[in-house]
Chains A and B, each alone.
Chain A
Amino acid sequence: MLKEFRPALILLMALSILTGMLYPALVTGLAKVAFANASDGSLLESDGRIVGSRLVGQHFSDPKHFWGRPSATSPMPYNAASSGGSNQGPLNPALAEAVKERIKALKSSDPTQTSPIPVDLVTTSASGLDPHISVAAALWQVPRIARERHLSEQEVRTVVIAQTEGRQLGFLGEPRVNVLALNLRLDKTGTPR
């Protein structure tokens, strides 16, 4: 029994140094050299200030901006210091209530828009930080943005399409629009740091 104690202790220490210190340090070094912006959180900046991360959504409620997925983080939505989902089950009455509220808010933001609301626009994301909405969810908001910004719908739609990320490598994942990037683009600000 004691005979195995010495190798256990020594190998635990040696492998801890190898896998718990040298390995993360090496990855950090390589990532910093090869992918400086990506490994630091894909930050965007404007006039020397960090205005967000391309990968972390922000909460939008101004009708001039595109709105993102509802977020279940607390105490505020899109809390990037403490991610979380709603974890509401499909039959939870609270889910039905919350979705109805969101439908109401969207409809009152644009009473003239009568087409059905895409489901991702009224359901919370898994992380509470989802930076994307579906293309359908962006297009649904185009008439409102056009009216609020005194642009033609065609102009706004062109911006949306320019900001659309297709399926990666042509077939992976879902087509989507980055809400923060889209809004920064509309406000003409923000560049990769």
Chain B
Amino acid sequence: MTGNGYLQIGFYLAALLLFAWPLGIYMASIYQGDIPLFIRWLRPVERGLYRLAGVSDADQMHWTRYAVALLIFNLLGLVVVYALQRLQADLPFNPDGMAGTTADLAFNTAVSFATNTNWQSYGGESTMSYLTQMLGLTVQNFLSAATGMAVLIALARGFVNREANVVGNFWVDMVRSTLYILLPLSLCLAVALSSQGVVQTFSAHHTATLMEPLAYQQPKLGSDGQALVDDKNQPVTEKVVTNEQSIAVGPVASQVAIKQLGTNGGGFFNVNSAHPLENPTPLSNLLEMLAILIIPAALCVAFGIYIKDHRQGLAILAAMTIVLVALMGLCVAAEQAGNPLFERLGLATQASDLQAGGNMEGKEARFGVVNSALWATATTAASNGSVNAMHDSFTPLGGLVPMWLIQLGEVIFGGVGSGLYGMIIFALVAVFVAGLMIGRTPEYLGKKIEAFEVKMAAVAILVPPLLVLVGTAVAVMLDAGRAGIANPGAHGFSEILYAFSSAGNNNGSAFAGLSANTPFYNTLLGFAMLFARFWIIVPVLAIAGSLAAKKRIPPGAGTLPTHTPLFVLLLIGTVIVVGALTFLPALALGPIVEQLQMHGAH
């Protein structure tokens, strides 16, 4: 890697941690109900929303009621997104005349956005109307993120509350997350992005006159509108010459801002943030990358302040950062080392001030290798899933990094809220394991960790791997699953494993060669996303409720301190051991064998 590569990575990490600090303080005061002066003018809007909905912010909920409110709210959101897609042809804000989507695609997309996964079975610019993008997808980007933040705050209350059987009010937590945190940040980011060239318009596509007329083969359609095939079942094509380019546009900046900040990741365009109108410059790229991790990082700070021991939040942030940096380095190195094929063919692949070099297949020239690998690591550490390069074309080792980060359970920063509550679950397991080793009742942040909490933690940790491994096994055994594979050999298996890892951990990125817009994948991945989201949220809320009911015990001589470097290592160890033991066999069949083939075959 060049000196500039180190500089860019270092600057990104420094800026991230620097901005996370004040944002964390701000968020903590929001959740403590102490709205800072400069944003207090939004207070009437907040109160108006409660009055309209008949909600009282003093009304504290038992964890089961909190969970029911959350589930109903998310279910209704899911229904709206489904309906918008099915009916979009007859609804306004559809200047390019998109047709309604199929039932399986609408289901998959609705689940995908309601669960903060934002897996995309569709190509945005060729499938969704502007209304669906705004009123369906953008709205769920906000609300699914706010849902994750609400669950985290409920869990934090589990540690703070003493002998209470309440964990807060879902409506208040959700509204405050949206109104005071997500909306203002998105507004600033959206305007900043549009200054760089991210499109934001309601007008239909533009038509440009090409500099050179373009001849291409176009599939010939029969009188029934279906593509014709010859007797060998190959599509019949005809030569067409055009001198026009149709450029898709739309309300992109507003959606991209929240897609990054809410760790959603569903792009306006098919290729997501690789699209030059969604991510046009290195600066827009930096801003979008910061937006991916800023709230998950800041929530660690906010959590520490909220439980009145900021060292606890910093310890978790440190554990996340260490794993992130290690895997980031591996991914950049693998992509810069590149594909030996290119050297065999006599190409220039050395990085210099004149070119990025390395593995440039599926990467954009303005981002090169460093920013593509950096993004791939950040977006999969967080449950964001937006991409600025095609992960499917990464080197085997370079592609293993994002896949494994997803499989670790989306706890290295993770989704907004969901990453930290996931990591706290791992912390519970870590103190439990440590407690077994030293023979003391485990406790965490002043609360005893007993059988119920550990059972719930086990459910939350075991559900995603189960979905990933069983889903992958089913798909590779069925013709309908294998039919979607684009690349031959071990890489084809990786495509399927990545898809289920992504859905089963609510990430949303893909080895995009896989043809996933089929009833088989839309349905199976849709259910994987649903289970992955809510089979973690409900156990986490159960833990919150159970902890809230407990006494707070002062730390004693036998208490394992949970803010020390030792605990940071223990936490990292727990995450890595669970992730490695569960997925190493599957990874060996995919990226690991492919890496060996790449260097051994020639």
Do A and B actually bind?
yes
A58 to B244, CA, bound (A): 10
Partner of A103, one of B191, B207, B345: B345
Interface mask (A123-141 → B, CB under 8 Å = 1, otherwise 0): 1111111111111110100
| Cβ A173 vs Cβ B211 within 8 A | no
Alpha-carbon gap, A6 to B125, bound state (A): 35
The answer on a CB contact under 8 Å between A12 and B282 is no
**In the bound complex, what is the Cα–Cα distance between A42 and B270 (angstroms)?**
20
- For B210, give its contact among A7, A16, A58, A126 (CB under 8 Å): A58
Interface residue from B55, B201, B214, B368 paired with A39 (Cβ < 8 Å) = B201
Closest residue on chain A to residue B245 by CB atoms: A80
Q: Is the CB of A16 within 8 A of B186?
A: no
Knowing A50-B206, A87-B362, A99-B345 touch, does A75 contact B216 (C-beta < 8 A)?
A: yes
- A140-B305 Cα distance, complex, nearest whole Å: 56
**A56 contacts which of B247, B348, B364 (Cβ < 8 Å)?**
B247
Q: Do A58 and B345 form a contact, CB below 8 Å, given A90-B395, A128-B271?
A: no
Which chain B residues border A105 with CB–CB below 8 Å?
none
A158 at the interface (CB under 8 A from B): no
Q: How far is the CA of A60 from the CA of B139 in the complex (A)?
A: 40
Asked if A122 and B65 sit within 8 Å, CB to CB, the answer is no
Q: How many residues on chain A are close to B (CB under 8 Å)?
A: 109
At the interface, is chain B mostly helix, strand, loop or mixed?
mixed
- Bound CA span A127–B366, Å: 12
A93 B365 Cβ-Cβ under 8 A? no
Q: How large is the interface on B (under 10, 10 to 19, 20 to 34, 35 or more residues)?
A: 35 or more
Identify B123's interface contact among A83, A90, A169, CB under 8 A: A83
Q: Is B276 an interface residue (CB 8 A)?
A: yes
Of the candidates A8, A32, A57, A184, which one forms a contact with B76 in the assembled complex, judged by CB atoms under 8 Å apart?
A8
A119 CB contact (under 8 Å) in B211, B347, B353: B347
Known: A96-B341, A172-B282. Is A91-B270 also a contact (CB below 8 A)?
no
Q: Contacts A11-B49, A100-B345 known; A50 to B209 CB distance under 8 Å?
A: yes
Residue pair A81, B355 in contact (C-beta under 8 Å): no
CB distance from B159 to the nearest CB of A (A): 25
Contact: A85 with B362, CB < 8 Å?
A: yes
Complex Cα spacing A60 to B199, Å:
25
A173 and B368 contact, Cβ closer than 8 Å, known pairs A91-B491, A95-B341: yes
Q: Point out the residues of chain A lying under 8 angstroms from B216, CB to CB.
A: 75-77
A139: chain B residues at CB < 8 Å are 354
User: Quick check: A51 and B341 within 8 Å, CB to CB?
Assistant: no
Q: Is A18 within 8 A of B183, CB to CB?
A: yes
Pick from A39, A43, A100: contact of B208, CB under 8 Å:
A43
Contact of A55 (CB < 8 Å), options: B280, B363, B491? B280
CB-based contact B358/A24 at 8 Å: no
Bound CA span A85–B251, Å: 23
Rounded to whole Å, the gap between the CB of B364 and the closest CB of chain A is: 5
Closest B residue by C-beta to A10 = B53
A54 to B199, CA, bound (A): 12
**In contact, A76 and B211 (Cβ under 8 angstroms):** no
Tell me whether A154 is interfacial, beta carbon within 8 Å.
no
Contact across chains for A19 and B212 when beta carbons are under 8 A apart: no
Q: Is A146 positioned at the interface, with any CB of B under 8 Å from its CB?
A: no
Within residues 102 to 151 of chain A, which ones have a CB less than 8 A from any CB in chain B?
103, 115-120, 122-137, 139
Do A125 and B363 form a contact, CB below 8 Å, given A4-B69, A62-B212, A139-B354? yes
Mark contacts of A55-87 with chain B using CB atoms, 8 A cut-off: 1 yes-contact digit, 0 otherwise: 111111110010001000001111111111111
Verify B52–A53 contact, CB threshold 8 A.
no
Given contact pairs A125-B362, A173-B281, A173-B371, a sample of 8 additional A-B residue pairs in the complex whose CB atoms are under 8 Å apart: A30-B194, A31-B191, A32-B201, A41-B199, A81-B248, A120-B355, A135-B353, A172-B8
Question: Which A residues contact B (CB, under 8 angstroms)?
Answer: 1, 4-12, 14-16, 18-21, 23-24, 26-28, 30-32, 34-35, 38-43, 49-62, 65, 69, 75-93, 95-96, 99-100, 103, 115-120, 122-137, 139, 167-169, 171-176, 180, 183-184, 187
Can you pick out 16 interface pairs between chain A and chain B where the beta carbons lie within 8 Å of each other? A4-B68, A19-B258, A21-B134, A27-B251, A35-B195, A55-B280, A76-B218, A80-B248, A82-B126, A99-B341, A103-B347, A116-B346, A120-B363, A129-B271, A129-B275, A134-B355
What are the nearest 6 A-B pairs in CB distance?
Answer: A173-B282, A87-B513, A126-B274, A134-B355, A89-B491, A172-B282
